Copies of this chain bind each other. A is one copy, B any other.
């Protein structure tokens, strides 16, 4: 068995954090902008986000939720009303105080003291308070309910330590917001969004997730319940990939969202919010990337198939390009995963082999190279990104299908790869969840042992609240651990609480996290 030369310098096992940065650079997805905590999302990274947007937006529309757009700026008074909410966000918001610049007399610019805003404006960190304002105007009677909205927007949270896609001061997301007549309906909506996220993550992003409720200490500021989907990265850490919040009447009270009930009584509405962000792109990298770069699930790949003609700057190139273009047309006429196949004929100048590695690092699902000999033989050289290497020879594992049959096999390859990535990630996750830890010393020992990637531990607990919970969180913090969520559909508790020894009431995941 030959040694395989991988396309990246850093291997996941050697330094996962450095590997993550290298993938982002090598796949040309994003870069630091020089503006504190803000990144530039480059075309390949943005193309993946656009695909996520499209597929999630289709699900949002199918659920009957309507898109709208609310202001970027939020007046201070909106935050003053919901104390818990502002406590949660006040430490990290960008504040606009002036609306004009003037020359400072030394060639520079300064905010014009004459143009100071009477009331500073906050750049939205999330939009509950401003959308709540609108809802209070739009809702009068029970007939106006439910009111179900979504917006695709940028938001800003002033982060001290940032990391591309995972934690940036500005990020892109969608935020769903709804108001309902009853707690039951609002809770149902909370679950609707959670299930939509689970299906999106698993079916579109090929990201296996655990859906469950966050413990009290991990709730969204001002929420009554926060639910999440949690995914395991290849370093065993957890990533919260989407959240859905039942807000009770807290925000309705603050924003005065009231309706006349059927019986004519003025009643507070129950509100819900839910969000998924560009963080999901970070999750995709950390779950599907390998030592050769990114692997993009076919449903999200801006191009699913890239054709590389081996051009030689000779007259024969013309026939080769024609051969490739026939192939391109045949493939783009196919349908995979419910949509026409997205195929690129990459005829930029440059060596095909160099371009091949570019596309390997970017994670294009299928790369097809075509040289003069392929053309003579009526075949192509096809490389699957999920089966890149011939492990015996240590060389790229090209297949050589007949050109005319090749196009027809593409839909099967893409569907197989989409499913394969999910299965692979799920098996890895299950292999890295431990469920046999029932005392805190074993937990500490598990996470302190030599193994770099100890994965998650599902423990049983008595669901402490208030101060008792704070003590648990404190103890876990010493071990650099966090409570992730209480999984739905888990077997009932049947042992003692790992923290208090009392009879446990449910299971909860404990893990290191992003």
**Listed residue (A33, A99, A110, A158) with the most chain B CB atoms within 10 angstroms of its CB:** A99
A43/B86 in contact, CB under 8 A: no
B72/A154 in contact, CB under 8 A: yes
Compute how far the CA of A97 lies from the CA of B98 in the bound complex, rounded to whole angstroms: 8
User: CB within 8 A of A170: which of B49, B71, B120, B133?
Assistant: B71
A187–chain B nearest beta-carbon distance, Å: 24
A394 at the interface (CB under 8 A from B): no
- Complex interface: chain B residues within 8 A of A41 (CB): 68-69
User: CB within 8 A of A73: which of B95, B107, B108, B170?
Assistant: B170
Q: Chain A: residues with CB nearer than 8 A to chain B?
A: 31, 33-36, 38-43, 46-47, 49-50, 66-76, 79-80, 86, 90-102, 107-111, 120-123, 130, 133-134, 143, 149, 153-154, 156, 158, 170, 172, 349
A109/B86 in contact, CB under 8 A: yes
A132–chain B nearest beta-carbon distance, Å: 12
Compute how far the CA of A35 lies from the CA of B127 in the bound complex, rounded to whole angstroms: 13
User: CB within 8 A of A100: which of B35, B71, B158?
Assistant: B158
24 pairs from A and B in contact (CB 8 Å cutoff): A33-B70, A33-B71, A33-B130, A34-B75, A35-B71, A36-B73, A39-B71, A40-B70, A41-B69, A43-B67, A46-B66, A46-B68, A72-B123, A72-B156, A72-B170, A73-B94, A76-B110, A91-B100, A93-B101, A95-B99, A96-B97, A96-B123, A100-B158, A123-B123
- Complex interface: chain B residues within 8 A of A149 (CB): 43
A173–chain B nearest beta-carbon distance, Å: 12
A107/B123 in contact, CB under 8 A: no
B90/A99 in contact, CB under 8 A: no
A140–chain B nearest beta-carbon distance, Å: 15
Compute how far the CA of A76 lies from the CA of B74 in the bound complex, rounded to whole angstroms: 23
A339–chain B nearest beta-carbon distance, Å: 13
- Complex interface: chain B residues within 8 A of A91 (CB): 100
B93/A80 in contact, CB under 8 A: no
Compute how far the CA of A46 lies from the CA of B92 in the bound complex, rounded to whole angstroms: 30
Compute how far the CA of A110 lies from the CA of B118 in the bound complex, rounded to whole angstroms: 11
Compute how far the CA of A164 lies from the CA of B69 in the bound complex, rounded to whole angstroms: 13
A54–chain B nearest beta-carbon distance, Å: 10
User: CB within 8 A of A80: which of B39, B80, B108?
Assistant: B108
User: CB within 8 A of A99: which of B94, B99, B130, B154?
Assistant: B94
- Complex interface: chain B residues within 8 A of A75 (CB): 34-35
- Complex interface: chain B residues within 8 A of A121 (CB): 35-36, 94
**Listed residue (A31, A49, A96, A122) with the most chain B CB atoms within 10 angstroms of its CB:** A96
A40/B71 in contact, CB under 8 A: yes
For the A-B complex with A31-B134, A47-B67 known, give 15 more contacts whose Cβ atoms are closer than 8 Å: A33-B70, A33-B130, A35-B75, A36-B73, A40-B71, A43-B66, A43-B67, A47-B66, A73-B94, A76-B109, A80-B108, A86-B101, A90-B101, A93-B100, A94-B99
User: CB within 8 A of A94: which of B31, B86, B96?
Assistant: B96
A100-B90, A108-B76 are contacts. A46–B67 as well, Cβ < 8 Å?
A: yes
A95/B98 in contact, CB under 8 A: yes
A94-B96, A108-B80 are contacts. A71–B38 as well, Cβ < 8 Å?
A: yes
B67/A90 in contact, CB under 8 A: no
Residue of B nearest to A111 (CB): B95
- Complex interface: chain B residues within 8 A of A96 (CB): 94-97, 123
B90/A102 in contact, CB under 8 A: yes
B40/A69 in contact, CB under 8 A: yes
Residue of B nearest to A38 (CB): B71
Compute how far the CA of A46 lies from the CA of B70 in the bound complex, rounded to whole angstroms: 10
A101-B90, A101-B122, A158-B100 are contacts. A68–B42 as well, Cβ < 8 Å?
A: yes
Compute how far the CA of A252 lies from the CA of B69 in the bound complex, rounded to whole angstroms: 34
Compute how far the CA of A220 lies from the CA of B416 in the bound complex, rounded to whole angstroms: 51
- Complex interface: chain B residues within 8 A of A110 (CB): 76, 120
A338–chain B nearest beta-carbon distance, Å: 14
A78–chain B nearest beta-carbon distance, Å: 9
